[in-house]
Amino acid sequence: MKLMHGFLLILFFSSSMTVFAARGQEGFLQGNKYFAEGNIQGALESYQEIDNKGPVTWYNSALCHVQQGDYVSALVALRRAQKGASVSILKKINFVLEHVQKNLALAPDSFFQRLATQAPSYLSFFWMQILCLIVLLGIVFLTFFHFKKAQWIKFALIITVAGLLYTLCALRWINECTYGIILRESPLYVGPNEQFHTKGTVSVADYVVVKAQEGSWCKIRERNGIGWILASRLSLIE
């Protein structure tokens, strides 16, 4: 796929020289070389050997999985690539993500999923707080000086603060959550043992919240409620 090959080279030239240490950079360059030669498995193995994988490495790994037709692994790699990605890289990730979701017959990300994965790339939690403080100071200033013609401005600022506070709370909750992707269809149990009753199933590529881990079991929240699955059926987005 020439289009995806092009993305690989763009990311390499724009990011690799500043992101990777010498050893990781060597593996990254080797992976790019294999990819250009059509040795997709060799490229994937080179990327996987890099210890501290950044967004670019996960993105390139996802391209390898797409070339191999392994869309679930590609989805996992893309979700990991989203964490800490710059705005320019995030746009490329989202483009491939839409292709992967379409092949897996998944719905596009909801508003909250986009907020969870993309908001930190555009505006950090710290700057969100600074912006909220500036708007609050604006409201105090307008109130103190009793500007008669500024009531509508004050009202707009209050609405803005309410929206910012809501977003801040959502971001704090989102950042404290651990997410995972279901690797294969699995029964959802009431407790962390196959002797417990099942309460349904989770499907391949489902995006879930991991609430706890007990031995070889994970407690998850998915669209139909909370239950337990084997940890081996799940890939954590770390």
Q: What is the pLDDT of residues 75-124, one digit of tens each?
A: 999 999 988 788 888 889 989 999 999 999 998 887 666 766 666 555 55
Q: Which residue spans within the chain are E strands per DSSP?
A: 178-182, 186-189, 198-202, 207-214, 217-222, 225-230, 234-237
Give 225's strand partners: 222
For the chain, the farthest-separated pair of C-alpha atoms sits apart, in whole angstroms, at 70
Are residues 127 and 41 part of one domain?
no
Are residues 32 and 99 part of one domain?
yes
The count of domains in the chain is 3
Q: What is the pLDDT of residues 144-160, one digit of tens each?
A: 665 555 666 666 667 77
Q: Answer yes or no: are the C-beta atoms of 213 and 226 closer than 8 Å.
A: no
Helix (H) or strand (E) holding 111: helix 111-122
Are residues 197 and 165 part of one domain?
no
Radius of gyration of the chain (CA): 22
Q: Tell me the CATH number at 33.
A: 1.25.40.10
Are residues 127 and 98 part of one domain?
no
Residue 111 lies in a domain: no
Three-state secondary-structure class, residue 154: helix
**Which residue range(s) make up the domain with 221?**
178-237
On average, the pLDDT of the chain sits at: 79
pTM greater than 0.75: no
